[in-house]
Structure 1
Amino acid sequence: MNFRQLDLNLLRVLVAIHRTGSVTLAGKSLALSQPATSNALARLRDYFEDELFVRAPTGLKPTRLGEQLATDVHEQLLALETQLVGRQEYVPANSEVHWKISLSDLGEMMFLPKLASTLRAEAPHSRLSNISVNADQVTAALESREIDMAIGILAPEHRGIRSELLFHERYMAVTSLGWRPPSGRAGKTLSADQLRQSGFAVASPTATFHGSVEKMLSRMKLEDRIVLRSRHFSAMPDIARQTDLVAIIPEMYVRELKWRQDLRIWDITDAPVYEVRMVWHKSTDNDSRHQWMRQLVCRLFQR
């Protein structure tokens, strides 16, 4: 095996097939035809004397050597990109970077307007997309550069993922103005007994929040009191207003509802506190573009 005989462009094909599980999709991501990508895979197999990828019901799966090579090569390619591009002086006003972040529907409501406004002022030629990724797929999306960062109730433990705490979050209850607890006095906080006698409406977004509302209710042994599940937090205020249900929403959203005169807001007794974090891949640690973007997110949302 002579390294000088290896066409290094083939390594990009190796990583793309590993990421997509498909010769066709790998070729599209690299602007290569399907025959050209198949030929590249054949040359890789000849060079390494290994199948590298084998067919499975869900697509191409790497062999042990294929997994090791693709993982190592991917890290080296990311590091090389950072060395060649990321260390250049970054000038936001001239930047045409397309930023890709992952936010839940609530994160989009709470973070995206302010972030977009600031980018339009400081980096007007850049673009911004919310690529909403399931919480359990955030690490893979960061590794493949599908997204640049994610913000939410996340605690990734993968060795290649970095994170920074933005703020602490807790959940509160929202009801119609005329709603009263089934028993006891109507103070500012709903007691455990009052909660056990109430019906709940909850949102269960998949992206960046890990179903933390239902986890909280499960920890409090109240999951059997969930009457309605929605995919989006944005529906919660009107559900509370038009029903006798108690909507459970994050405190940061509560702040946006303070002006509404048709809702009542309650604290929840013994509600746990969660960490809202920004997460990114370590390969961008020294990239001046990404450093600027992370500093911007902290400037806008860290408290």
Structure 2
Amino acid sequence: MNFRQLDLNLLRVLAAIHRTGSVTAAGKALALSQPATSNALARLRDYFQDDLFVRSPGGLQPTRLCERLAPEVQTQLQMLETAVTVRDDFDPARSDMRWRLSLSDLGEMMFLPPLAAALRQQAPQARLTNISVAADDVPAALESREIDFAIGILQPHHRGVRAELLFREHYVAMTSPRWRPASGKAGRTLSARQLAESSLVVAAPTATFHGSVEQMLVRMKLGDRVVIRARHFGALPELALNTDLLTIVPQMYAANVGQRMDMRVWELPRAAAPSYDVRLVWHASTAKDPAHQWIRAQVHRLFGRAQGAA
């Protein structure tokens, strides 16, 4: 017997006849005609070189080979049906789903706490793991299922990768509450001159580096004003709070940290302030999965401030 030559649809007929004890009843259960079911049985007999079923006063009786095969076939068919059936009964309160996402260090500080709080409240048995993936490698990580989704400054142009714009962000300046510009009035917005007179500390995380801040510094000829370049945003508040340095950070981060640490937030010159889009990205293979739809809905509910896909 060569398994590759076996039509696996015939196994459904085998299981149905064994379950019903009748070719006619099995055909009705499978929505097959009686001749089609009889033909399938004939092909099964030819493949296994066994009668499989013999007639008796009580109906068709399985042979010893069939009695060994049919229950195992039925079990495997049920497992396969369970595996391929798309379920629409995802219950976050009962699910032990394990999601894997990718966030930068800044993204982890901004997005992970609210998302974790939502999970603990609505899906207490679920698990969430942040996996470090460089921005350029996110599409490949999604395709390989290394991660399920990512949030960040991402512009994927890869087949099979989908994206949704969550919000548009811009950079601001943040300083100690005692800090004042070297010249001019201390209003809400720093002038180009005031910025040029400041000593700066900026972050340039390797894996998720966003070049717009560096581009702004080059454009405004402020590169020589950078005193410290840190690898992570987490160090910037303390550096600014305890020195005379001015740091440039996303507005969302500044609003969060500013309240907790009593930092002062300044708008940058409008023509110079960098801005960027924050997107949620995922792979098309999970687009209709109820568990993945649910977690993406939570992300959009918590952080979405824009409509439509990007």
* 2:301 alignment partner in structure 1: 299
Unaligned runs of 5+ in 1: 6-79
Which residue of structure 1 lines up, in the alignment, with residue 60 of structure 2? Answer: none
**What's the TM-score once normalised by structure 2's chain length?**
0.67
Q: Does 1:237 align with 2:237?
A: yes
Deviation at 1:213, TM superposition (A): 3.1
Q: What pairs with 1:47-126 in structure 2 (closer than 5 Å)?
A: 84=84, 86-126=86-126
Instruction: Give yes or no for contact 2:213–2:274 (8 Å, CA) kept in 1.
Output: no
Distance in 2, matches of 1:212 and 1:89, equals 44
Identity of aligned pairs, percent? 61
Residues 104 and 206 of structure 1 are in contact (CA less than 8 Å); yes or no, is this contact kept in structure 2? no
Q: 1:148, 1:219 → 2: CA distance?
A: 37
- Please say if residues 175 and 240 of structure 2, whose CA atoms lie closer than 8 Å, have aligned partners that are also in contact: yes
- 1:55 maps to none
Q: Deviations over 1:202-232 (max 9, x none)?
A: 1122444534433443444433322211122
Change (3 A) 1:172 1:144: same
Moved beyond 6 Å, runs of 4+: none
| Partners of 1:219 and 1:142 in 2: CA distance | 35
Bigger mean CA offset, 213-222 vs 243-252? 213-222
Contact 2:201–2:246 under 8 Å retained in 1: yes
Structure 1 residues 246, 301: closer, same or farther in 2, change over 3 A? same
Q: 1:149 to 1:221 in 2, by over 3 A?
A: farther
Aligned length: 228
Do residues 268 (structure 1) and 256 (structure 2) align?
A: no
Structure 2, unmatched stretches of 5+, are 6-79, 306-310
Q: CA RMSD in A?
A: 2.7
Separation in 1 of the partners of 2:269 and 2:290? 44
Mapped partners of 2:209, 2:86: distance in 1: 30
The equivalent residue for 1:131 is: 131
Partner letter of residue 170 of structure 2?
R
Equivalent positions of 1:1-303 (< 5 A) are 4=4, 84=84, 86-208=86-208, 210-260=210-260, 262-270=262-270, 271-303=273-305
| Matching residue of 2:31 | none
Structure of greater Rg: 2
User: What's the secondary structure of 1:249's corresponding residue?
Assistant: strand
Distance in 1 (CA, whole Å) between partners of 2:107 and 2:264 is 23
Which one-letter code corresponds to 2:144 in the other structure?
A: S
The CA distance in 1 between the partners of 2:208 and 2:151, in whole Å, is 7
Shift of 1:95: 1.4
